[in-house]
Amino acid sequence: MIHTLNLQERALKNDQPAPSRRGFFMGAVAAGAAAAAVTTLPNNPLTEAAPEPQAKPEKGGGYSLSEHVKRYYQTTRV
């Protein structure tokens, strides 16, 4: 006769506690608290101001052949 073990018997046999909803929520709360603490730390490099954008030209001509554009053109050559 084959004996199947239920969840509690398997947990006792493996010496591991059965997962619970309370443990899951405690872990979620801990992760949320850690994320909140990291975002409020001073000198966070993610919250530093971005560099000022360049001023727009007065007579249009907003296109400029920058290094980024030159690299793009090199990738499109066949």
Could you tell me the pTM of the whole model? 0.33
Domain boundaries, the chain: 1-43
Q: Exposed, middle or buried: residue 11 (CB in 10 Å: 0-12, 13-18, 19+)? A: middle
- Digit-by-digit pLDDT tens for the chain (78 residues) are 455 556 666 655 666 566 788 888 889 999 999 888 877 776 656 556 677 777 776 776 667 788 998 999 999 987
Q: Could you tell me if 38 and 28 are in contact, meaning their C-beta atoms sit under 8 angstroms apart?
A: no
Q: Could you tell me if 58 and 64 are in contact, meaning their C-beta atoms sit under 8 angstroms apart?
A: no
